[in-house]
Structure 1
């Protein structure tokens, strides 16, 4: 194919046509403004889900204990699920809380700052109905403040939650939940700066016909002193049911083990063994004043002194062997 080189006049004419719009070009792609979202570099961590091992351990233990207590209060089996842990600005958290809501302000002493416990109005009125003997199957959320009697009834549930919360925090740091006051309108629960970052830990409580949420709102500054412990899962003890633990201990402690005391050892030939007669003496490798080794299930565990107790041969415990000493004894044998 023959190449055609444009002359200077043709080039000038082409550029003039582009400038005057006589020559069509590819249309510019329009960007849908609705698809573009502003990005705030100052708050890039806000409103994101996160994983904090320590708070997850606290959450799991709290679910186990609250499931039992709330089922007892409501006289009905309930199911509790943890909600994703997330972080956002305090003002955004408050803006999502409807009115009315049972809001309780408290402090986790000795940690600084104030925190929030938020109970959905549906759950709050359900607790009140059940305390007063009602069924509470169709709870009507009323746009009013709780009466003094209703507040006292709700406070019973809050005290139970705080008591279990203290137990759940025990493996992180011993805390005391100090109740400050209760509110219905989130506008009166502004205990933190609007732009302050908070961590929200929540649970969804489901019954046969009603469901609601319980939320804990902690300031990031409140959790800062225990940050290392919250991010170190190996420091936490797994929650163990006390009844199950006692039952397991009972079975373990009643288990029978084979215990034997070895007076001494020696080596003889097969011929000498076959020629042994009554009255022959076998010389052992231990002296009479040396401690006797006591084996438990074939493992050397104790050194003792041979003697007699109530007309029975006995061994008096003198020392428990360490793991290193056990290994040495095994090698010698």
Structure 2
């Protein structure tokens, strides 16, 4: 009886259906370099600096755009430059600026929504971005963008004045992101995301700094100690300690090269002629470091040195020749020196 029934395989064969062979899934290795890593925080000094800047900028931007209700800082994070640029909608304004004496450039990015809302309210329209359909900014829009950027950089420079004096310069405004590359794609950047509230509509703008840009002043950017208030009592105590600190002073009259054979032949009563005069300038050392140029003198019955000028150089007084010194007093760091 069972032979009168067809098996499932025979039914599939009659209907022309074939079982699909499952392809083995290929497992690809994970490329960690392509993973996006966003690190929030970690730059408390820069965070506090922007908080201080926003108070100044909020007042100044309202003079240019009265409809601005508030400017706020959303977040500070560290990411890769390529990842940051890929998330900016087009069109956008990329302002390249330098911060001398720091070497690298940074970006000030104005989102297209912010630009078109500013343009709308300035010409009497509502605080809503209008459709742009991928077009570029017009000359009038670029002029307004430049005014906003220049004001932003001017106020940002003023905040640095008492922290680390810098000079900001606008290098140019680009609309093509490929022309606004301030770092390689995989290089880490510090992004400060801000927003501007214009009659209830919030639109973003960004500061983008290469992380390596702040390495010379990392103690300022990556800590918050520079904005802490000074304790006047602690300052007074420190001043007293410094003024009571004892240091060793050494006046160098001359340096002379002498042969070791001549030194071995010295006898009691031999004289060394230093060949110096009252008109010469001499080095005054503070703890083995030359700090002053002085002239010889006498006060009552004691010899004295009159400080003529500070020794300039690389910070420790050891570089370069000082004006007014005779070549015989310069000397060299070789053996057989006579130091008075």
TM-score surpassing 0.5? yes
| Conservation of the 8 A alpha-carbon contact between 1:200 and 1:218 | yes
**Partner-residue secondary structure (3-state), 1:135:** coil
Judged with a 3 Å threshold, the aligned counterparts in structure 2 of structure 1 residues 149 and 237 are, in CA distance, closer, same or farther, namely: farther
Q: 1:129 aligns with which of 75, 97, 120?
A: 120
Q: 2:110 aligns with which of 119, 126, 142?
A: 119
Larger radius of gyration: 1
**1:77-98 Cα deviation digits (max 9, x unpaired):** 4122212211111111111111
**Partner-residue secondary structure (3-state), 2:163:** coil
Residue equivalent to 2:222: 231
| Conservation of the 8 A alpha-carbon contact between 2:68 and 2:196 | no
| Matched ranges for 1:106-185 at <5 A | 106-131=97-122, 133-142=123-132, 143-185=134-176
Question: Offset of 1:45 from its aligned partner?
Answer: 9.4
Question: Offset of 1:43 from its aligned partner?
Answer: 8.8
Residue equivalent to 1:97: 88
| Matched ranges for 1:7-156 at <5 A | 38=30, 40=32, 46-131=37-122, 133-142=123-132, 143-156=134-147
**1:4-49 Cα deviation digits (max 9, x unpaired):** xxxxxxxxxxxxxxxxxxxxxxxxxxxxx9xxx9573x79994111
Q: TM-score, normalised to structure 1's length?
A: 0.55
Judged with a 3 Å threshold, the aligned counterparts in structure 2 of structure 1 residues 86 and 75 are, in CA distance, closer, same or farther, namely: same
Separation in 1, partners of 2:50, 2:65: 21
Separation in 2, partners of 1:55, 1:71: 24
Give ranges in structure 2 of 5+ residues lacking alignment: 1-25, 230-340
**Partner-residue secondary structure (3-state), 2:150:** helix
Separation in 1, partners of 2:120, 2:176: 21
Judged with a 3 Å threshold, the aligned counterparts in structure 2 of structure 1 residues 156 and 75 are, in CA distance, closer, same or farther, namely: same
| Conservation of the 8 A alpha-carbon contact between 2:37 and 2:80 | yes
Question: Offset of 1:102 from its aligned partner?
Answer: 1.5
| Conservation of the 8 A alpha-carbon contact between 2:174 and 2:180 | yes
Question: Offset of 1:106 from its aligned partner?
Answer: 0.9
Q: 2:204 aligns with which of 198, 203, 213?
A: 213
Q: TM-score, normalised to structure 2's length?
A: 0.54
Judged with a 3 Å threshold, the aligned counterparts in structure 2 of structure 1 residues 50 and 104 are, in CA distance, closer, same or farther, namely: same
Residue equivalent to 2:287: none
**Partner-residue secondary structure (3-state), 1:193:** coil
| Stretch moving more, 212-221 or 119-128 | 119-128
Judged with a 3 Å threshold, the aligned counterparts in structure 2 of structure 1 residues 73 and 218 are, in CA distance, closer, same or farther, namely: same
| Conservation of the 8 A alpha-carbon contact between 1:106 and 1:180 | yes
Give ranges in structure 1 of 5+ residues lacking alignment: 1-32, 239-333
In the alignment of these two chains, the number of paired residues is 203
Judged with a 3 Å threshold, the aligned counterparts in structure 2 of structure 1 residues 235 and 152 are, in CA distance, closer, same or farther, namely: same
